[in-house]
């Protein structure tokens, strides 16, 4: 497997376009479209929030129908959540605008929105946007990059990646983009993400691979504990790589899953590091736990704690907060078998050993915690399961960004 340039347009047959639809933001692109003329086997995971956005309901219906998809239209600025029937109709109208322009069934077009909850979308602007984009679709690398920028809200950097790997002698490409900076908490992807591949694979296996990989990647990040109404991750596979169709869990399937894991891990880490107001990526690595579920719960609890996040911001090795967060996670353990370490490019430091705090060098601690990625490693001494979760620090800017987000 190798990294290549690009994102959603890297794989054969996928094109993208963007436009300035003036939905809420001014002087920037706020709509993006990803399209494949060849029909795509599509899998998806969606928010577990009971209050689902209209677009989530639309996309779920499409993905569950099992019919192939041709593309997705995304807007930033307004989330189209808590908008009743009018909101759902906006999804249908958007998809129908694509049908009119490109002559594909409107039920093959997914839609996704991100932004303020509880505002209606300006449907005319969306429909005009679709028309513009349908006439400017491009399979260039740049078109993919522009799409990854148009879907940003409070994100400070765009997030895209592409990889290539071999399946039965054929070169397969997998690319993707995602956005997400606030309202990010592990519970079914917690963001918008769109992956494209020219792999030929049966839908049930595509869905199974996606669901499994999401558990260890997007569902292991948190910015603020708020699970969004709009979380959507879609993967579209158009089969143009011409590989032998993957229809069982063979070696090819595992090769694809490894590539999917790499792509999702990259995007998930980028999203956590770009959490609203964040200055650092905050990683928790729990090792030698009794079982995988426990390792995951403990790791997520550590990176979700407001107090732990504030300590990471302040470069303060206040390790008691990490133990405290593990303690209220819902899992049980004996604190007397726990060891806790801080590590980064700046070095490594043990601060807690078998139930007892250790004396440590505060200067070294500050040096370690001043790096761009700070890892808290917890050795449970219980078994051999491990898990990693990714979050970010809690800063003044998180409050600033969110105290008056609507205006």
Quick check: 290 and 383 in contact, CB under 8 A?
Answer: yes
Query: Using only C-alpha atoms, what is the Rg of the chain?
Result: 22
Report, as residue numbers or ranges, the catalytic residues.
Answer: 190
Quick check: 372 and 281 in contact, CB under 8 A?
Answer: yes
Eight-state DSSP code of residue 135:
T
Lookup: tokens for 246: 């993957």
* Dihedral angle of Cα 313, 316, 317, 319, to the nearest 10 degrees: -70
Polymer length in residues for the chain: 407
Residue closer to a second copy (CB basis): 126 or 163: 126
| Alpha helix ranges (H) inside 217-289 | 251-273
Q: How far is the CB of 76 from a second copy (least distance, A)?
A: 15
Helices and strands counted in the chain (H then E) = 11, 15
Residue closer to a second copy (CB basis): 99 or 316: 316
Residue closer to a second copy (CB basis): 320 or 346: 320
If you write DSSP's letter for every residue of 39-95 in order, what string do you get?
Answer: EEEEEEEE---SS--HHHHHHHHHHHHT--EEEEEEEEEE---S-HHHHHHHHHHHH
Strands (E), 67-189: 69-78, 109-116, 159-167, 170-179
**DSSP 3-state helix, strand, coil percentages of the chain (rounded to 5)?**
35, 30, 35
Q: How far is the CB of 134 from a second copy (least distance, A)?
A: 30
Per the DSSP assignment, residues forming a β-bridge with 237 are 41, 197
* Of 263, 206, 262, 208, residue with least CA distance to 235: 206
Residue closer to a second copy (CB basis): 194 or 319: 319
Q: How far is the CB of 398 from a second copy (least distance, A)?
A: 7
Q: How far is the CB of 355 from a second copy (least distance, A)?
A: 4
Q: How far is the CB of 288 from a second copy (least distance, A)?
A: 17
Residue closer to a second copy (CB basis): 82 or 258: 82
CA distances from 361 to 40, 311, 350, 366 (A): 56, 17, 10, 9
CA distances from 198 to 19, 235, 394 (A): 25, 11, 39
Lookup: tokens for 163: 């990889």
Q: How far is the CB of 215 from a second copy (least distance, A)?
A: 17
Residue closer to a second copy (CB basis): 258 or 310: 310
Q: How far is the CB of 322 from a second copy (least distance, A)?
A: 9
Quick check: 42 and 67 in contact, CB under 8 A?
Answer: no
Residue closer to a second copy (CB basis): 141 or 338: 338
Lookup: tokens for 389: 């979760």
Residue closer to a second copy (CB basis): 224 or 379: 224
Q: How far is the CB of 106 from a second copy (least distance, A)?
A: 24
The total of other beta-carbon atoms located within 10 Å of residue 103's CB is 7
The residue ranges that bind a second copy (CB under 8 A) are 48-52, 79, 81-84, 86, 116-120, 182-183, 185, 187, 224-229, 304-307, 310-311, 313-316, 318-321, 323-329, 331-333, 335-336, 351-352, 355-357, 394-396, 398-407
């Amino acid at each position: 497997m190798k990294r290549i340039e690009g994102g959603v347009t890297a794989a054969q047959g996928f094109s993208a376009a963007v436009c300035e639809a003036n939905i809420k933001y001014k002087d920037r692109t706020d709509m993006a479209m990803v399209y494949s003329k060849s029909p795509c086997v599509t899998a998806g995971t969606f928010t577990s929030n009971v209050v689902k956005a209209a677009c989530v309901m639309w996309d779920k219906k499409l993905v569950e129908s099992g019919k192939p998809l041709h593309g997705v239209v995304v807007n930033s600025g307004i989330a189209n959540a808590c908008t009743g029937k009018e909101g759902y109709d906006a999804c249908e109208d958007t998809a129908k605008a694509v049908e009119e322009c490109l002559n594909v069934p409107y039920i093959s077009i997914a839609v996704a929105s991100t932004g303020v909850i509880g505002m209606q979308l300006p449907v005319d602007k969306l429909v005009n946007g679709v028309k513009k984009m349908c006439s400017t679709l491009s399979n260039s690398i740049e078109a993919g990059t522009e799409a990854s920028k148009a879907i940003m809200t409070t994100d400070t950097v765009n997030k895209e990646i592409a990889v290539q790997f071999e399946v039965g002698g054929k070169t397969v490409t997998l690319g993707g983009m995602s956005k997400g900076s606030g309202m990010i908490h592990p519970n079914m992807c917690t963001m918008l993400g769109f992956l494209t591949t020219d792999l030929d694979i049966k839908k049930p296996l595509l869905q199974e691979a996606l669901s499994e990989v999401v558990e260890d990647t997007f569902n292991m990040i948190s910015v603020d504990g708020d699970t969004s109404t709009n979380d959507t991750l879609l993967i579209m596979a158009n089969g143009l790589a011409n590989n032998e169709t993957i229809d069982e869990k063979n070696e090819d399937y595992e090769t694809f899953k490894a590539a999917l894991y790499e792509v999702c891990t990259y995007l998930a880490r980028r999203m956590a590091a770009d959490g609203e107001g964040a200055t650092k990526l905050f990683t928790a690595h729990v090792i030698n736990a009794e079982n995988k579920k426990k390792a995951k719960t403990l790791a997520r609890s550590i990176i979700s704690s407001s107090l732990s996040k504030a300590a990471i911001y302040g470069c303060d090795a206040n390790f008691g907060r990490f133990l405290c967060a593990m303690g209220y996670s819902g899992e049980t353990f004996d604190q007397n078998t726990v060891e806790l370490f801080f590590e980064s490019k700046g070095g490594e430091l043990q601060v807690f050993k078998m139930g007892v705090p250790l004396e440590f060098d505060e200067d070294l601690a500050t040096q370690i915690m001043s790096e761009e990625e700070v890892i808290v490693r917890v050795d449970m001494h219980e078994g051999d399961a491990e898990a990693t979760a990714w979050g970010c620090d809690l800063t003044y800017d998180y409050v600033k960004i969110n105290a008056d987000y609507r205006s």
